[in-house]
């Protein structure tokens, strides 16, 4: 039987599925530090990860490894140049999380715009003495302008929901989406600067790459309206968190909703002390149904990539399909 490492705790029934095909080494404890990950991968043919960094040194320590299946759509934890050089396949879990993640983007955006967590903290602290006309004034979503940066599958799912709020949708993306998608979403392509100047609510849904590092920093925040909100459901590092904390503290922008952070699970301490922010621990895809779908898709990818099961040799979501069938180097 081929050997695999499941680096994280996942649904036990998915582990049972994997055990039908593989000898499974399952880490149910803390995230494995790099040296322990390398040790556990030394004799493995495949691995299922959820954000563990996999670079050339990890692949070198795992000479039998042929596939790493990430239980996430984002795979910035994979050094794909190293995967290609070693002929190791990477896979991810796109699509199954689009709607849950788009829902959550709205939840964060609405909570930020209407100051839900800020007012709840105040209420819980026993500060509510009387109703007042100017308590926690926020900004409207209905009839406002939504700015989506990153118009991929999740960005489109998010933008599709704007119709019910009678919002104007503007977007920026590496490249324009097809005209029929623009028409369906009633979305207009604009430059990043234009979007930041015009949007009432900016949502980030782009993958993390070197080029996207600090897509939103001090200069970009300075372009935004003082009434605007910023929501990040993409990846830590796309926003300069220190600059954002400054912009929130000085009310350069009204509020932010963040599900992802630079250096998570550690947060920039300044983010914890600004009031006009909604913070969640990377849970945008966290519904029971979606996380199950992601875990099963990650398992499907691993099973098929290692030549087992009904789709043997044809994993559904190869990131670098050119390496399929090539000998490990």
Task: Round the CA-based radius of gyration of the chain to a whole number and report it.
Answer: 22
Is 172 known to be catalytic? no
In the three-class reduction of DSSP (H, G, I as helix; E, B as strand; rest coil), residue 47 is classed as strand
CA-to-CA distance for 206 and 153, rounded, in angstroms? 10
Q: What does the binding site for ligand GLV look like in residue numbers (CB under 6 A)?
A: 72-74, 97, 285
Whether 121 is catalytic? no
- Tally Cβ neighbours within 10 Å of residue 287: 16
Which of the residues 235, 262, 291, 308 is marked catalytic? Answer: 235
Q: Of 213, 282, 292, 328, which residue is the catalytic one? A: 282
Nearer to ligand GLV, 181 or 286 (CB): 286
Q: How far is the CB of 295 from ligand GLV (least distance, A)?
A: 11
Contact present, 67 and 325 (Cβ < 8 Å)? no
The minimum distance between CB 99 and ligand GLV, in angstroms, equals 13
Backbone angles phi, psi at 308, to 5 degrees: -115, 170
Helix (H, G, I), strand (E, B) or coil at 230: strand
Q: Which CB sits closer to ligand GLV, 97 or 203?
A: 97
Q: Which of 264, 268, 292, 311 is catalytic?
A: 264
Q: Annotated catalytic, 268?
A: no
CB closer to ligand GLV, 51 vs 309: 51
Q: How many CB atoms lie within 10 A of CB 12?
A: 9
Q: How many residues does the chain have?
A: 329
Supply the DSSP symbol for 54.
B
Nearer to ligand GLV, 156 or 276 (CB): 156
Nearest to 257 by CA among 72, 94, 118, 125: 118
Q: How far is the CB of 320 from ligand GLV (least distance, A)?
A: 17
Cβ at position 260, least distance to ligand GLV in Å: 7
Residues noted as catalytic? 235, 264, 282
């Amino acid at each position: 039987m081929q050997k695999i490492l499941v680096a994280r705790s996942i649904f036990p029934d998915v582990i049972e599925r994997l055990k039908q095909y593989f000898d499974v080494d399952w880490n149910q404890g803390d995230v494995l530090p790099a040296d322990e990950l390398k040790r556990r991968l030394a004799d493995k043919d495949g691995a299922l990860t959820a954000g563990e960094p996999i670079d050339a040194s990890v692949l070198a320590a795992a000479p039998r490894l042929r596939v790493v299946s990430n239980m996430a759509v984002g795979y910035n934890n994979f050094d794909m140049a190293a995967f290609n050089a070693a002929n190791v396949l990477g896979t991810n879990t796109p699509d199954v999380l689009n709607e849950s993640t788009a829902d959550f983007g709205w939840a964060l955006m609405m909570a930020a715009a209407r100051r839900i967590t800020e007012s709840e903290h105040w209420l819980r602290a026993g500060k509510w003495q009387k109703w007042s006309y100017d308590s926690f004034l926020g900004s409207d979503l209905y009839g406002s302008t939504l700015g989506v940066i990153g118009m991929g599958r999740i960005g489109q799912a998010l933008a599709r929901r704007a119709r019910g709020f009678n919002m104007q949708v503007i977007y920026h993306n590496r490249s324009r989406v097809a005209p029929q998608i623009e028409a369906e979403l009633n979305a207009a392509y604009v430059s990043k600067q234009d979007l930041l100047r015009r949007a009432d609510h900016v949502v980030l849904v782009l993958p993390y790459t070197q080029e996207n590092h600090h897509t939103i920093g001090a200069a970009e925040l300075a372009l935004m309206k003082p009434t605007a909100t910023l929501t990040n459901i993409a990846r830590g590092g796309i926003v300069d968190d220190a600059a954002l904390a400054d912009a929130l503290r000085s009310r350069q922008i009204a509020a932010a909703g963040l599900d992802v952070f630079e250096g998570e699970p550690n947060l920039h301490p300044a983010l914890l002390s600004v009031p006009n922010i909604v913070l969640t621990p990377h849970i945008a895809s966290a519904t029971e149904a979606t996380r199950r779908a992601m875990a099963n898709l990650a398992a499907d990818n691993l099973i098929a990539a290692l030549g087992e099961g009904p789709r043997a040799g044809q994993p559904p979501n190869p990131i670098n399909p050119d390496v399929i069938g090539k000998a490990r180097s």
